[in-house]
Structure 1
């Protein structure tokens, strides 16, 4: 029987050695629990649960608050975006309710402005354009007015003395 007892002892010794290897491998893979940033360093499970509780308590969906610890629901975010768009277009009619429409209208105004008299840059107009402009504002041309540098005192004196 001594052989059976010896075989059992050797078997238990082998199992114990293998268990130590498994234990050392697990400890090596889990790392040093004392280096965890969590308060509970007794096990990875406890540390992970502590971390989960911290996360759960930090961020929550709350449509009535806009703080660093809360976020709005997708519905609230969509509503706020729609509200901002409506405020931006401020009740504009459907032909002016996006940036492309506004850009097109600005381009049309610039084009229309090309026919206006500028106070800041030199322009040239055709005789027909000048006639139309004078007609629009009911004024005479330079030719119709005459020389604005005429000295009428000289004219009067010349006429009087003749």
Structure 2
């Protein structure tokens, strides 16, 4: 398997994970709250409504179980969100622990990936046949310490024995 293929598969795997994360978050516009910009804003709205309603309306805070007439406390929700974040990140370093940071590293368009794949495609392969120009062959052989691939060894031999 070529490095280009592996990098392409890595990029596709990351894209699939991002797509899965976006799907798991759901459609924020479908929230039954007025705050639809973020899940945190929606949760805060629900908490404010529960606090405003008090227990007289039947809304209670119950961290032990979920039910239609209760909600988790803000500390329980914060804990659950932190656990979910840890599960999603799977130990990623701080430099890559948000989708924004991953996007910034990959680029917001395909140009960076295309440039990377082009650069990878311009490398010598030991496993695959390649069509290289004479200049590319010379550079590759020089890099490997082989010398000029166009050297006519028969001519050198013939000249040496004269």
TM-score range, shorter chain: 0.3 to 0.5
Larger radius of gyration: 1
TM-score by length of 1: 0.37
Q: Higher relative CO (CA 8 A, sep ≥ 6), structure 1 or 2?
A: 2
